A and B are shown apart, each in its own frame.
Chain A
Amino acid sequence: MKHSLLRPAEMAVLLAVALVIVPLLFYLPLWLPALVELMLLLRACLLLRQSRLPGLAVLLPLLALAAAGVWLNLNTLIGREGGAALLILLLGFKVFESRQQRDWQVVLALGFFLSAMPLLFDQSPWSALWLVISLLALTWAMLRLAGDIPSGSARTAVQALLLSLPLMLVLFVVMPRLPGPLWSMPHDTHTAQTGLSDSMEPGSISQLVQREDAAFSVVFSGQAPSVSQMYWRIMILDDFDGRRWQNVHGLQQETAQLQGGQLIRYRLTGKPTRSRLPLLEYPLQAPGGSGLEPGRLFRLASDSDDMVRVDASSLLGSHYRQSLSLSDQDFYRRLPPGNPASRQLAMQWRMQSQGDAGFVREALLHFRLNGYRYTLTPPLLEGDNTTDAFLFSTRQGFCEHYASAFAFLARAAGIPARVVTGYQGALYNPLGRFWQVRSSDAHAWVEVWLQETGEWLRVDPTAAVAPQRVSDGVSQTIPALQPAMPLMGSRIPGWLLPLQQSWQAAGFAWQQWVVGYDAARQLNLYRLLGLGESVDAVAVLRALLLGGGLALLPLLWWWRKRPATAPLQAGRNLLVAALQCHGITIQPSDGPLDMLNKAAHLPKDVRVLLKQLLKEYAAMRYRHAELPAKQVQAWLRQVRSFAQQARKKRQRS
């Protein structure tokens, strides 16, 4: 009997852990979570057919084989991915070895641990949602496994999670956070890098632009600069191989200084791109935990792609002066052979114009006047002379085409030049009062070094072709990129815009308060709430007492909660109230027959209905077997409508 009682509970456990590991399908090599899901399914089949389980002699070699597969695939069995891989493998094999309740409890505990694994890879609200679903399934399975509540276990699971939620929130906010990790983590080389890559070729940015996901968000302290001035620099590409620009770290150190400009302070929250921070042109000082790289770029010391929050400051519109040695100037003029027509054009402009600045003007004028088109889907550039093909035949391109072509022309004319990639622009979210930069704001432009003044000058050839790209953002410039409803394929209607903004604001708040809730933010909160000047034992204790008191309130409500009146009793009360409306007083001692007798003078239709209801009441009230809840509910509905009619009648009269 015990066995048959436990069997559905084991099913519940299997179902719960199968749910828990679903997100790992995205983060681990696909075959591994899929294999484990398959094993869980197989175990469920064995459970249904009550077949014998394979022995350890079969299981252990298979486990070793699978672990070897993981090793071959990931080259590690520790760290984030290796650990998660090994753990779900253990889960897959543990279920084949689970017979007693104790074994299944171990499986459940493993499930609880595994539900933390996807969080190591992603902390978006979706992950949190899945975590809640996982916890719900696990708690439900736990209730089933405890075996004491045969029915209503799902409701009890929801209730248990809801009641423990306030306590969890208090602990989340109050329990001290450590500023740094306990031990250094092995670096995962398999982490998929998102955002800008460290090279640029036709198509590399336009691919990125089609994604609508948030790259980072910014809060300016004080007045925000105009959108067209928001150039977020991430990477410098200084070497061209005829098709692709990349960074070969030609400059190991630089002596540069910033002159003039307007000081802008801002707080930036986002994932670094290859540990580089997108900072406003030109950043003044290194935010905490980052170092200055040549080209006025900042790189984080830690090599992770976790979300960071940094306070930074930039001198907007300042002059970026640098004295380049002759060899450095040559480095920034290097070009591969080829593209003769472009070289010729560059030389021609060089002759016509006066100085480097004149050349830049000439080139921008060329882009503006000669029918160049800004498009996300340019024709493919064939052959070796891609720059020639772009400049003279296709004349259609995205920012990477223009930046690449301009840098090529400048170098061909003997002007040191480099391509800069990053983001341009931002969208203000009035709800969350922050600026949102999305992947679609990715951009590439050029910096040229002017001999006369000895400074780097930003040149954005895309702005010459499509000025609204810089002022209004890419989605206003290319119709195909205008935010579209996924299903209807049209623009987002105006009434939905606030919704979109709320969504972004929610995402920002999520980043700020949930994912980014760290030691510093905790300290701020402690000070704000007056709990203490530092997160020490006394302050934590005080906060725990205070928060614990608040968290106990729902528990108190739960403890005090009276059970709802039995439906039959509730129905009788309703009938009594309805008869009261008709002017008939019913004593508590009156049975159904008494009630009917007292109602003898009522109109016939009312009496007939009452008689039927009372008859059903008596049948249900005085029967021995358990009543199906549906039947009682149906009766109760009828009683309600009866009582309502009686009330209406009284109001009319």
Chain B
Amino acid sequence: MAKKVARAPLDYLNMPAMKAWLAGVFIFLYTPLMILILFSFNDSKANIVWKGFTFKWYVKAFENTQLREALFNSLLIAGVCTVISVVLGALMAFAFWRFKFPFKGPLESGMSLPIVVPEICFGVAVLMFFAKVGFPNDLPYPFNLTQIILAHVTFAFPFVAIVVRARLEGFNPELEAAALDLGASPFQAFRDVIIPHMKPGLIAGGLLAFTLSLDDFVITFFASGPGTITFPVKVYSMVRFSVTPEVNAASTIIILITVVATVLALRAQAATTKES
């Protein structure tokens, strides 16, 4: 007699249909990426048939000066944007957490506006803004990246603020009181107790800001002046002619950077939940 294994109500993974569905979802999600990565090692100019393994596209991508410059610009922009976003986002989160002030509710809801507004609208708005204020277009490198950095900060720092704000919700106010009670000034209490508590949120938010800035295309496209180019914009311009394995190779590198950043962010958040 075939044994029928009893199944708990929430034991979905023991259902064959559910397993197949799950596999389907993963295939749908990751096949395009896998193909992109696979063909970055393909010894053929056409992205269709597998001809053999090679690193030459990576070498070629690396030798492409423009592409290299674009990647460096992107990393520089993302780095500066991260630092500014973390500071602004943390301060904003702290202000909303700590203080009561008029219009706090609408302001707090407005905090997520840059997240929900379609990027294309945001891009146009940024373009119009810089034109209206007459932002100098001819600054020497690397200051000609300022516009892109400013644009990136505007949409990246609310992410930091939201992550840090959520983290602060779990803060035990008695910890701050204890620091004051032991002789710390309000600033020392902030530095010694509140910032360490925020830290996982700062790291997670910072990495979020970094990856958002690194792969942003639409807003960057509108904000970039003549002569400034970032990695996604450069890749787009290369793809306009044809998708070469060189683009695959470059994209693979970006995927790698993003994955590493995400893993770090998740780790930071895991530390958060473990503590509380």
Partners in one complex: no
B interface residue numbers (CB < 8 A to A): none
By a beta-carbon cutoff of 8 Å, the part of chain A in contact with chain B is none
